Chain A
Amino acid sequence: MLTATSRASRRRLLQAVVVGTLATAIAACQGAPAPAATAQPAANATTAPAKPTAAPATQPTSAPAAATQAPAATAAPVSAEKITIEAWIPWADKPSVAVFQQVIAKFQTATPQYTVHPTWGATEDKTLTAISGGAPPDTFMNWDATYVGTWSQTGAIADITSWMNSNNLARKLTPGALELGRIGAQYFAVPYMTDGYSFMYNQDVFDKAGIKTPPKTMDDVVALDAELTKVDGGKLKQVGYHPLYNGCCSASNLPMWADQMGGKWYDDANKKITADDPGNVAALEWEASFYKAHGVEAMNNFLSGLGKEASPTDPVAVGAILMAIQGEWRTGGAYGVLAANPNFKYGLSAIPIAKDQPQFHDANWATGTAASIPKTAKHGQDALNFIGWLLSLDTQLEMVNGIGNLSATLEGLRAHDQLTLAGMNPYSAYLLQSNEANNVHVWPSIPVSKQYMDALVKAEQLAVAGKQSATDALKSVVQQIQPQLDATLKK
């Protein structure tokens, strides 16, 4: 039998349990803590590399390269009070962070109303979580712009067209850079640095073989590959060109070669996936010829044994691969061939063209480190002023020379003689040439762009291995992606 005292104790215990439970429940309902935007900047972070962007190119750009007007200037803050701009920045390696810190310091000096609070090492996943959780930064930057197609459609990022127009950015940015953030007639992202691509070859090996000039056509690449590839003990030890090697990224090289054959990947007017375009098929068949020449197993084994870029086993720097399409970061920056092998002697040339289609010469692709404003950002307009600062010529040159990517502005590209990192000058000049020829392409900014690229990577592997014809492989990409696009656009 319970005594009065024990009943009272028990009642108190029960009350305590109830209170504790409710407190737990209330705590659980408080929502997630504030996102990493409030964290201290990781000035000593060394994890995420100053990477280039990944997705390759295709859609021809339209805006002509023209003006050389003053850079996008910062405007007065939207409100008079001191404003802290939360900026999520993907760079986290020491040199890049140091460059950004200098840029931020100068911006704050020039516009004392603002304090920029950076969070380094931002990734797409983290940003997605922050936006969907209702606690977005004022601006975020990403290493590639493939998010734009999906995120703009969901309403997650703001339409910045009016800001772009008021700053005349359509004439200041390169046509290629502009395409990365454009959806129809609207802009949802501003690339503040871009990548450009050239054909890199091993100068030492070329000299020893008595090869005087780099390959000018895709046929030349095939011929040189046959001449320079070495087999030892049944294994490939040195390859002239490997179609599936592209360095850092998961993206495919195929769109770049398809550009040389007039290939198209998306019909914007009719909203159609055009992976099976004859130009694309021809480019894939050309890639498959390398596998036919050296054997599928040998080529796949060789590919799996390649080291990481900028490491002591960097395939280009150690002479395992003698010719490759490479971005500008592969020259004198932290991720360049010289970082892997300071004695490496490389040559650069324009990307070889298809012999019978010289009209596509100077085709290049643009990828870029893009910045966007979450639609629910607290200080989105103010953050745009910070982004505008990044696009000024001085800042562009500071970032290009410090980080090792190319300027997103025409003015910045034209100032290529002021670039200090090895190899950046020719890259900048070549990308400028491609932009002025209005021949820079980007991967389609559509809501299914990522699965489109994944499907293409798989199709490319199947086709070069001879498991499917190039036509069938690319048709299967259309069959897989078009229904997804239709469903997304229907909504």
Chain B
Amino acid sequence: MTKRTRRQLVTGLLFISPWILGFLALTVYPAGASAYYSLTQYNVLGSPHWVGVANYSRLFTADPNFPLSLANTAYLAFVGVPLQLLVGLVAAILLDQKVLKAKGVFRTAYFLPTLMPIVASTVLFIWILNPQYGIVDDLLGLVRLPQPGWFADPTWAKPSVILLSLWGIGTTMVIYLAGLQGINPELYEAADIDGAAWLHKTLHVTIPLVSPVTLFNLVVGLIGAFQVFAPLYLIGGNGTSGSPEGSLLLYALYLYANAFQYLQMGYASAMAWILFVIIMILTVLVMRTSRWWTHYEA
């Protein structure tokens, strides 16, 4: 390294040093501390007490809420996220149609729920899905369809949460919309010349060419799904008990309860690291498999 290069390196490092310090103090140190606490019994108010892997051992062998919360969260991730992608893509395709008038109005209308605070939209859904007085069950009753208990029924509680999440697919939709508008129109023209119908064009041109966008939305969606907290805190009604019958005890909710209500910060740290590993594995899996289903326009 020449003297000049070294000087430039130092200059560069000095310029980004505020960020480096922030990263070290606010990310690296807390993460390191959390890793250490995960090997201790630590109640925030006292000193951590080394217990080795006891927290991890308890999670996998003696805590029925751990697999329950993991299963509940996995349900939302593996059922909810694909549905969000599907609905987001369909909405984007519909809003990208040339024949559609007042596109701006429709796009705004579809995106608007995303802007609503999550607490407000959750409370709204609690009301409209209420089995006693909610409008949805009233309408279902009018056409003599079954009226589920929604959030009150352990069987329907998680699908209801997914329904709530589908209402806020605005961001996914907008990203898809950007992806759709980036597709070369000549590809559609070529398909038209070949006599391809709308469905064929969608399956063989649109979906492959927005697959990079799908990859992004999938990774972001999975990471988000494993960290859902606020709506469930409200819906459960009983704070962190995951009512009804533990069907809404999600991972983040149980982690929060352990950390800040039960004062088991060491245990909660172990949960956080397991969550990190799960998300990391899923992300790597998605990225590794993406080469088979993601297509980049040459």
Contacts and interface: CB of A to CB of B under 8 A. Distances in A.
Interface of A: 10, 14, 17-18, 20-21, 24-25, 28, 125, 128, 131-132, 150-151, 153-156, 233, 235, 250, 297, 300-305, 448, 450-451, 454, 457-458, 461-462, 465, 467, 476, 479-480, 483-484, 487-488, 491
A132 B151 contact: no
Nearest to B44: A132
Contact of B64 (A454, A457, A476): A476
Given A21-B14, A155-B46, 6 more contacts: A14-B14, A125-B260, A156-B45, A250-B241, A297-B149, A301-B131
Interface in B39-54: 41, 43-46, 49, 54
B241 A491 contact: no
A483 B18 CA distance: 46
Given A21-B21, A150-B263, A304-B132, A480 B65 contact: yes
A476 B133 CA distance: 35
Interface in B148-191: 149, 151-154
Interface in B219-271: 237-246, 249, 257, 260-264
B238 A457 contact: yes
A461 B131 contact: no
A410 to B, nearest CB: 33
Nearest to A125: B260
Nearest to B49: A491
Nearest to A28: B25
Across chains A and B, which 9 residue pairs bring their CB atoms closest together, nearest first? Answer: A305-B132, A304-B152, A301-B131, A154-B45, A156-B45, A154-B46, A250-B238, A300-B152, A461-B245
6 contacts: A14-B11, A302-B132, A304-B131, A457-B241, A461-B246, A491-B41
Interface of B: 11, 14-15, 17-18, 21-22, 25, 41, 43-46, 49, 54, 58, 62-65, 130-133, 141, 149, 151-154, 237-246, 249, 257, 260-264
B231 to A, nearest CB: 16
B149 A17 contact: no
A266 to B, nearest CB: 17
B21 A28 contact: yes
B153 A487 contact: no
A484 B266 CA distance: 13
Nearest to B265: A132
A479 B61 CA distance: 12
Given A17-B15, A457-B241, A458-B241, A448 B262 contact: yes
Residue of B41, B43, B44, B264 with highest tally of chain A CB at under 10 A? B43
A304 B132 CA distance: 8
Contact of B243 (A20, A235, A461, A479): A461
